[in-house]
Chains A and B, each alone.
Chain A
């Protein structure tokens, strides 16, 4: 069971990284200035009241004790009580996660065909005009920050052409398609931003596969061009793209913060942003931790898929 062992090793490092992230997230809040009681009561509150509240919340205890309690609670799914909402954090996180997932889904629906398609076309025409055009377009869009392209898209398609609503939130009770329609404009900046990178990876894979000996053999033994491309080139070229797609999820999460703020979508990004502005530490820590968990999990999923598709990766990982 080669894959079994790889998988368990993978899960081990995954848990270790998640644990490290939890430490980092928690201690970032403790080392830097920012007193929990002071935040809740405001700058004009009585010093004694602040100290009392800190004691009641356990914020006056040693950092390690606090971390231990927080971490064991997180393990049981209890992320603590929000300071600004005065309610458990977990339901808020879950609700916002659903909205972010819908947006991420729309992004992927556009991103995968566009990025992979452009990359394959560029790779098959490497060095020609269309290749240079695709690569340049990819780099240009990739370099523009998503909130900048988001603002420009809002002005052009939302304001001038009136094709899309300028908010990312559909009215209550809207159906599946209407909800999706409202999410198209928010999705576009990230699609444009990431498509270039994915196209570049796909292009590199295609070029490498076309220069490989097996492709030369396939050509020289007289196979048809279409058959060569679909059966020999693309099958080998697309494995790295899948891994890249998985790791880009992390980048997407970062981008979601900005996009959600821009379009007023109450997703995970906006949750983190609002919690940061209100200095709602439990909410903030939970949000960042969930984001990190999604990132780590998707990277791991990418590795597993890669191992399933490419026997060489399997052997390398187990040796």
Chain B
């Protein structure tokens, strides 16, 4: 454990990512202290540029963009994190079952995985969201999770297939352990690095997908989130009147969260996959070649 922390600490990228994500989470957590005003309250004139009173300016409805930004972080992050965990759980279970049982179970699950994988995600999200009608955060969460588990399922499946015939699994089977115990107690712990990558990637995806849906107008416009902030800004023609602050604040929030999580994932990737750290091979060969030439000349 200690070693793992040291490894994480040495990675500057991971530390930077961790700081960004933690700061945003703290901001969401302490929203009542940081922005005591109600984000839905009209506090000023329409489309006021940033001032000392309203750090991020006001929206068309005269609402404080700063308060909306701080409060909007709450649902955006909460739904993103919850959905990311849900996607990972779904993908991991399906991948484990398909990979462990093989045969017809695997063939069926693999076919479904591929079918869900080939439908471009956003159109499918729109399709489901439109049929579900005006959707709350839980419905958005379910829709995103149901359309985006295949990536994780594929990775987990191939890893499980590699582990299935290892000695310790065979031994457990010989002893007579039930299948669920073999899957969750013997195989699952070996997949922890993979699951970590999967969780972070899924959270990024979930946040992006959720804000995209809300931006396109499938969320509840009265619910203050970063996505609906963008939707409302776009609908109140913020671009045409030049109210850049109305758009920049939520956009920066989404970009920052994504950047922080991506930095974290980068490091997870490198820990799980040392090949990514490879140095410049060609220059090594060229150096070798120069050395050899020099030695040959010296010998002559």
Contacts and interface: CB of A to CB of B under 8 A. Distances in A.
A29 B212 contact: no
A17 B114 contact: yes
A232 to B, nearest CB: 10
Interface residue SS majority, chain A: helix
A258 B212 contact: yes
Contacts of B254: 144-145, 148
A261 B216 contact: yes
A257 B216 contact: yes
B258 interface: yes
A318 to B, nearest CB: 20
A25 B127 contact: yes
B279 A127 contact: yes
Interface residue SS majority, chain B: helix
A154 B242 CA distance: 10
B180 to A, nearest CB: 29
Interface stretch (B35-43, B81-89, B129-137): B129-137
Nearest to A142: B262
A211 B281 contact: yes
Given A139-B262, A151-B247, A166-B239, A253 B285 contact: no
Contacts, number: 165
B244 A24 contact: no
Interface string B197-230: 0000000100010011001110000000000001
A128 B120 contact: no
B239 A151 contact: yes
A219 B286 contact: yes
A151 B282 CA distance: 41
B298 interface: no
Contacts of B52: none
Contact of A255 (B118, B122, B251): B122
Contacts of A21: 115, 118-119
Contacts of A272: 123, 126-127
A284 interface: yes
Interface in A143-179: 143-145, 147-148, 151-152, 154-155, 158-159, 166
B126 A159 contact: no
A273 B212 CA distance: 12
Interface string B276-292: 00111110011011001
B240 interface: yes
A287 interface: yes
Interface in A79-115: none
B190 interface: no
B209 to A, nearest CB: 9
A296 interface: yes
A205 to B, nearest CB: 13
Contact of A126 (B116, B130, B279): B279
Given A159-B242, A277-B130, A210 B216 contact: no
Interface in B226-269: 230, 234, 239-240, 242, 244, 247-248, 251, 254-255, 258-259, 261-263, 266
A155 B124 contact: no
B61 to A, nearest CB: 19
A124 B204 CA distance: 30
A288 B124 contact: yes
B120 A151 contact: no
Contact of A291 (B120, B242, B289): B120
B27 interface: no
B210 to A, nearest CB: 10
A148 B251 contact: yes
Contacts of B248: 152, 155
B120 A250 contact: yes
Among B115, B132, B242, chain A packs the most CB atoms within 10 A around the CB of: B115
B111 interface: yes
Contacts of B263: 139
A284 B119 CA distance: 14
5 contacts: A29-B131, A143-B261, A147-B215, A207-B281, A257-B126
The 9 closest A-B pairs by CB, nearest first: A276-B130, A254-B122, A32-B131, A143-B258, A211-B281, A20-B115, A210-B282, A254-B120, A148-B251
Given A20-B112, A257-B122, 9 more contacts: A21-B119, A139-B263, A143-B259, A145-B208, A147-B215, A154-B239, A166-B239, A207-B281, A258-B215
